[in-house]
C-alpha cells in the first residue's frame, strides 16, 4: 500500500502536531467485517472539504464487492450513497476508494464487504480537520499567470478594436478622433480590469484568512508538577477559554466559539496521559482523575529526572479526539513515593530490547517478529510474541479491555501515536458512531449509554495467548521507539523497542 503525500504550506507541521495523535494523521483499523478479516487505512486530505483515500485489504478469500461510505456524526439528513472501492491492480486483496469529506469534526467511514462468504460491515471513526493549505503548483501558477496576461491583453485589444472600427463602413479608415476614443476606451478598460483584479485578489486573501481561522488548533493546555500532601502530582489542565465556557451560550456566541460535547471514558478512563523523557529513556502511561473536566491530576510515579514530553488523549461524546501536547521538567526529588494512583497506571525506565527481544520479569520475554525492513508509508509488521520462562506462549489478561497497548514516538517528538490491536482510533469513538440514535440531542445522554456499554465490553474481553499485533504505517523516515504494554494476571509489563524507518524508494 503506497502512501500519497500532499504538498503543504509551512503551517502544516504545526497543525499536524496539534491534531489527534501527533504527526500521524492516517486512521487504521484491523478486525472483522462480518466473515471477512480486513485492514482499513484512511488518508484524509488535510483540507475541508477534501477527498479521503480509503484502502481496504481483505485477508484470505477475496470479496466480490467492497464499498465505502462517509457520514458525519451529527448529520441530520441521510448519508451519501456508498462508493465502490476498486481492486488495486497487481495487489490481490487490496481495494481503493475515494470519499469526499465535506465537513470537519467527527466523521465515520463505513466499509461494506460482500462475497461468497457472506457480507459484513465495519464503522471506522475518522477525525477530519483542516490542518494545512495546499500550495499552488509552480508550473500551474506560471500557466495561469500567462493565461491571465493573455486574456487581459485580449480584452483590452477587443474593446479598442470595437470602439475604433465597430461603426465604420466596410473599407473606411478610422479618423483621429475615432482612434483617440479607442485609446481612451482601452485605458478605461485597463483601469476597470485592474480594479477588478485587485478586488479579486483582496477577496481571495480574505477567504484565505477566514479559512486559516477555521483550521484545527488544539485546546490550550498546561502541565505542572504540584505537591499534594507528602507526594508529587502531575496536573494537566485544559486552559482553553472555549472549553471553560462550554456551557455559556452567550460567551460562545460573542466569541464565535465551538460548543464542544462532553468527554467520554475511553477504555474506562477520561484521559490517557503519557510522559516520555526527551532521550526516550523513561516512559509512563497514567490515567488522571478529574472533578471538573478542566484539571486532571495524577500521582507522579518514580520516574528519573529530566525533561519530558507530555501527551494527553481525550475523547468527546461526538467521537472527536484530541491529543494535548506539553512538556515538563521532573526534578530528581519528584518521585511519586508510596502514593497510590490509578490501578492501571504503569511506567518504565528499563533497557531497550536487544535484537528485537526484551526480557521482562520472571523469565518472561517479548519478541518483535519484525520480518521485512520498515519503510515510511508502508504497513509495518508490528507483531509481538510474549513467552513464558519455559518458552510457551504466555496467557495475557486484557489491559483496559485490550490485548495490548502500544505507543510509538519519533525521537524528535514529531510523531506520537497510541495504538491498539484494532487500530489507531479510540474504542469510545467507534461506539459513539455506532450507537448514536436520532434522539440523542441532549448532551450527555449518549455518553451515559456508551459508558455502560464500554464497561460491559471490557468485562467480556477474554485472554489472549502469545501474539499481539498492531496495524500501522510509520508516516515518515527516522528513528522511533515503541513501547508495548501487556498484562499478565495483575501485573502490567512494558517493553521498549527501537525502530529505524527508511525512506521509500522513489517510484518509477
- Cell 490485548 sits at which residue? 403
pLDDT digits (tens, 9 = 90+) for 459-474: 888 888 989 999 999 9
Percent of the chain residues past pLDDT 90, beyond the cut? 59
Mean pLDDT of 350-368: 92
Residue 455: pLDDT band (50, 70, 90) is confident
pLDDT digits (tens, 9 = 90+) for 67-114: 999 998 876 666 789 999 999 999 999 999 999 998 888 899 999 999
**Helix 138-165 crosses helix 176-214 at what angle (to 10 degrees)?**
150
Beta pairing class for 382-387 and 467-470: antiparallel
Percent of the chain residues past pLDDT 70, beyond the cut? 90
**Residue 254 scores a pLDDT above 70:** no
**Residue 394 scores a pLDDT above 50:** yes
Which of the given ranges, 161-175, 335-349, 400-414, has the highest pLDDT on average?
A: 400-414
Lowest-pLDDT range, 20-29, 73-82, 216-225, 262-271?
A: 73-82
Strand, coil or helix: 142? helix
Residue 454: pLDDT band (50, 70, 90) is confident
Give me the CATH topology for the region 351-508: Immunoglobulin-like (2.60.40)
Write down the pLDDT at residue 115: 94
Residue 442: pLDDT band (50, 70, 90) is low
Closest CA to 71 of 45, 56, 52, 58: 52
Write down the pLDDT at residue 15: 36
Give Dmax (Cα) for the chain: 108
Instruction: Check residues 362 and 298 and name the one with the higher pLDDT.
Output: 298
The CB-side HSE value for 328 (13 A sphere, CA atoms) comes to: 26
Residue 348: pLDDT band (50, 70, 90) is very high
pLDDT digits (tens, 9 = 90+) for 41-56: 999 998 889 999 999 9
Omega of the bond leading into 49 within 30 degrees of 0 (cis): yes
Mean pLDDT of 362-374: 89
Write down the pLDDT at residue 133: 80
Omega of the bond leading into 388 within 30 degrees of 0 (cis): no
Residues β-bridged to residue 366: 358, 386
Write down the pLDDT at residue 493: 94
Instruction: Check residues 494 and 18 and name the one with the higher pLDDT.
Output: 494
pLDDT digits (tens, 9 = 90+) for 143-181: 999 999 999 999 999 999 999 988 888 888 888 888 899
Residue 14: pLDDT band (50, 70, 90) is very low
Domain covering 218-349 assigned CATH 2.30.30 in the classification: no
**Residue 282 scores a pLDDT above 90:** yes
> d(Cα 506, Cα 3) in Å, to the nearest integer?
12
In a 10 Å sphere around its CB, with 0-12 CB exposed, 13-18 middle and 19+ buried, how is residue 442 labelled? exposed
> d(Cα 223, Cα 56) in Å, to the nearest integer?
39
Give the CA radius of gyration of the chain. Answer: 28
Write down the pLDDT at residue 211: 85
474 close to 370: Cβ distance less than 8 angstroms: no
**Residue 8 scores a pLDDT above 70:** no
Mean pLDDT value across the chain: 87
In a 10 Å sphere around its CB, with 0-12 CB exposed, 13-18 middle and 19+ buried, how is residue 206 labelled? exposed
Residue 12: pLDDT band (50, 70, 90) is very low
Mean pLDDT of 425-444: 79
Asked if domains 12-128 and 351-508 share a fold, the reply is yes
**Residue 339 scores a pLDDT above 70:** no
Instruction: Delimit the domains of the chain by residue range.
Output: 12-128, 138-214, 218-349, 351-508
**Residue 241 scores a pLDDT above 50:** yes
∠ CA(351), CA(357), CA(359), 5° rounding? 55
Mean pLDDT of 409-419: 95
Give me the CATH topology for the region 12-128: Immunoglobulin-like (2.60.40)
**Residue 231 scores a pLDDT above 60:** yes
Write down the pLDDT at residue 370: 79
- Helices (DSSP H) in 168-317: which residue ranges? 176-214, 241-244, 249-255
Write out the three cell numbers for 44: 484524509
**Residue 418 scores a pLDDT above 50:** yes
Q: 10 Å Cβ neighbour count for 490?
A: 7
pTM for the full model? 0.84
* Contacting residues for 238 by C-beta, under 8 A, at least 6 apart: 219, 220, 221, 244, 293, 294, 324
Residues β-bridged to residue 360: none
Write down the pLDDT at residue 6: 32
Residue 247: pLDDT band (50, 70, 90) is low
Write down the pLDDT at residue 368: 96
Write down the pLDDT at residue 60: 87
Amino acid at each position: 500500500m503506497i502512501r500519497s503525500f500532499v504538498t503543504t504550506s509551512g503551517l502544516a507541521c504545526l497543525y499536524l502536531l496539534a491534531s489527534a495523535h501527533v504527526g500521524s494523521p492516517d486512521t487504521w483499523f484491523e478486525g472483522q467485517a462480518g466473515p471477512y478479516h480486513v485492514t482499513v487505512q484512511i488518508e484524509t486530505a488535510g483540507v475541508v472539504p477534501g477527498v479521503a483515500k480509503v484502502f481496504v485489504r481483505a485477508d484470505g478469500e477475496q470479496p466480490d464487492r467492497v464499498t465505502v461510505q462517509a457520514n458525519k456524526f451529527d448529520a441530520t439528513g441521510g448519508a451519501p450513497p456508498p462508493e465502490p472501492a476498486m481492486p488495486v491492480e497487481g495487489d490481490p486483496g487490496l481495494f481503493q476508494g475515494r470519499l469526499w469529506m465535506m465537513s470537519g469534526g467527527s466523521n465515520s467511514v463505513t466499509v461494506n464487504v460482500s462475497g461468497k462468504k457472506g457480507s459484513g460491515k465495519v464503522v471506522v471513526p475518522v477525525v477530519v480537520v483542516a490542518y494545512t493549505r495546499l500550495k499552488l503548483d509552480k508550473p500551474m501558477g506560471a500557466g495561469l499567470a500567462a493565461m491571465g496576461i493573455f486574456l487581459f491583453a485580449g480584452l483590452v485589444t477587443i474593446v479598442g478594436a470595437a470602439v475604433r472600427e465597430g461603426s465604420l463602413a466596410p473599407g473606411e479608415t478610422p479618423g483621429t478622433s475615432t482612434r483617440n476614443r479607442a485609446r481612451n476606451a482601452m485605458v478605461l478598460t485597463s483601469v476597470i480590469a485592474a480594479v477588478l483584479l485587485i478586488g479579486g485578489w483582496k477577496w481571495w486573501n480574505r477567504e484565505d484568512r477566514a479559512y486559516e481561522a477555521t483550521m484545527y488548533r488544539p485546546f490550550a493546555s498546561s502541565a505542572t508538577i504540584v505537591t499534594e500532601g507528602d507526594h508529587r502530582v502531575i496536573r494537566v489542565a485544559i486552559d482553553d477559554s472555549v472549553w471553560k465556557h462550554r456551557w455559556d451560550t452567550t460567551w460562545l456566541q460573542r466569541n464565535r466559539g465551538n460548543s464542544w460535547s462532553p468527554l467520554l471514558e475511553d477504555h474506562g478512563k477520561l484521559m490517557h496521559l503519557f510522559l516520555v523523557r526527551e532521550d526516550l529513556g523513561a516512559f509512563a502511561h497514567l490515567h488522571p482523575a478529574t472533578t471538573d473536566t478542566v484539571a486532571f491530576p495524577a500521582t507522579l510515579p518514580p520516574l528519573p529526572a529530566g525533561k519530558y514530553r507530555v501527551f494527553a488523549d481525550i475523547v468527546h461524546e461526538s467521537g472527536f479526539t484530541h491529543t494535548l501536547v506539553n512538556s515538563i521538567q521532573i526534578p530528581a526529588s519528584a518521585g511519586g513515593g508510596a502514593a497510590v494512583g490509578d490501578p492501571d497506571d504503569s511506567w518504565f525506565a528499563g533497557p531497550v530490547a536487544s535484537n528485537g527481544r526484551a526480557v521482562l520479569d520472571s523469565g518472561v520475554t517479548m519478541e518483535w517478529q519484525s520480518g521485512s525492513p520498515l519503510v515510511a508509508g508502508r504497513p509495518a509488521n508490528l507483531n509481538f510474541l510474549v513467552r513464558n520462562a519455559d518458552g510457551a506462549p504466555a496467557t495475557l489478561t486484557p489491559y483496559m479491555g485490550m490485548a495490548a497497548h502500544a505507543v510509538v514516538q519519533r525521537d524528535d517528538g514529531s510523531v506520537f501515536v497510541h495504538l491498539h490491536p484494532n487500530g489507531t482510533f479510540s474504542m469510545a469513538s467507534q461506539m459513539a458512531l455506532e450507537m448514536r440514535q436520532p434522539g440523542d440531542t441532549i448532551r450527555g445522554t449518549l455518553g451515559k449509554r456508551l459508558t455502560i456499554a464500554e464497561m460491559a465490553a471490557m468485562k467480556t474481553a477474554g485472554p489472549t495467548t502469545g501474539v499481539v499485533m498492531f496495524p500501522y504505517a510509520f508516516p515518515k523516515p527516522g528513528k522511533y521507539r515503541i513501547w508495548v504494554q501487556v498484562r499478565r494476571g495483575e501485573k502490567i509489563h512494558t517493553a521498549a523497542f527501537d525502530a529505524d524507518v527508511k525512506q521509500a524508494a522513489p517510484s518509477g
